[in-house]
Structure 1
Amino acid sequence: MAVRAIRGATQLEADVRDHMLERVAEMVLDLMEANGLEVDDFISVIFTATSDLVSEFPAYAARRLGFGEIPLLCARELEIERSMPRVVRMMAHVETDLPRADITHVYLHGAAALRSDLSRVRSVPDQ
């Protein structure tokens, strides 16, 4: 079994706690589904958030999904001029039999524009 890193990102409409928890949970669950993962497959997850998001720790959404025993870390995203606002990113380290080429990185909502170079960007329309 190999260790792989899987990335994801989502954009929030506003910095509202319930919205943060909903969007981060959606990103984590979509990443799990897209790659056939269970919580026990995760080694660790790093979340970053842009400086305009302060309503909740993104990791709390993962803890609510059963990630209580998985090391989780939240950090601040670099403040680069013209960067996309209200974005939460994640890098998950997992154990999987998937070859690197078959890993699906998940970019949702406005964050889909962050990695248009990836062939398997998953875009979820805003509801």
Structure 2
Amino acid sequence: MVRGIRGATTVDRNDAKEIREATQELLRSIMSENLLCTDDLVSAIFTVTPDLNADFPASSAREIGWQLVPLLCSTEIPVPGALPHCIRVLLHVNTARNQTEIRHMFLRDAVILRKDLLDADP
């Protein structure tokens, strides 16, 4: 079964090193919390807010071994008042887990985006 897993994080500023570190922290958290390995990954779509352009989140994924995973980066819609400096990901994974067992990860300031997902019991 293919499932989607959402995640997001933030950085303090538009800095390539910060973007890499935050993206890798997010991806490792998602993988760990959902008991996944790289072979389980189908694809990933990354988005960043318009104020982040110092690096591609997909490059960060490649650095942690995702060389064969199809990756795509895009810019979020610039909605007024939206959370700034935000990196989001939608992972498509092969898993036997049902929808309620999926653990979505929202780190740093991104915890405000989907409190409903974080407060749900797995």
TM-score range, shorter chain: over 0.9
- RMSD between aligned residues: 1.0
SS of alignment partner, residue 81 of structure 2: coil
The within-5 A match list for 1:115-126 is: 115-120=114-119
Q: Does 1:55 align with 2:57?
A: no
Q: How high is the TM-score relative to the length of structure 1?
A: 0.92
Q: Structure 2: how far apart are the matches of 1:93 and 1:33?
A: 15
Where does structure 1 lack aligned partners over 5 or more consecutive residues? 122-127
Counterpart AA for 2:116? D
SS of alignment partner, residue 117 of structure 2: coil
Aligned length: 120
Aligned-pair identity in percent equals 38
Counterpart AA for 1:32? M
Structure 2 partner of 1:87: 86
Q: How high is the TM-score relative to the length of structure 2?
A: 0.96
SS of alignment partner, residue 27 of structure 2: helix
Which digits, 9 at most, give the CA deviation of each residue in 1:39-88, with x for residues without a partner?
Answer: 11000000000000010001000000111110000001011010000000
The within-5 A match list for 1:62-81 is: 62-81=61-80
Q: Is the 8 A contact 2:104 2:118 kept in 1?
A: no
Q: Does 1:17 align with 2:16?
A: yes
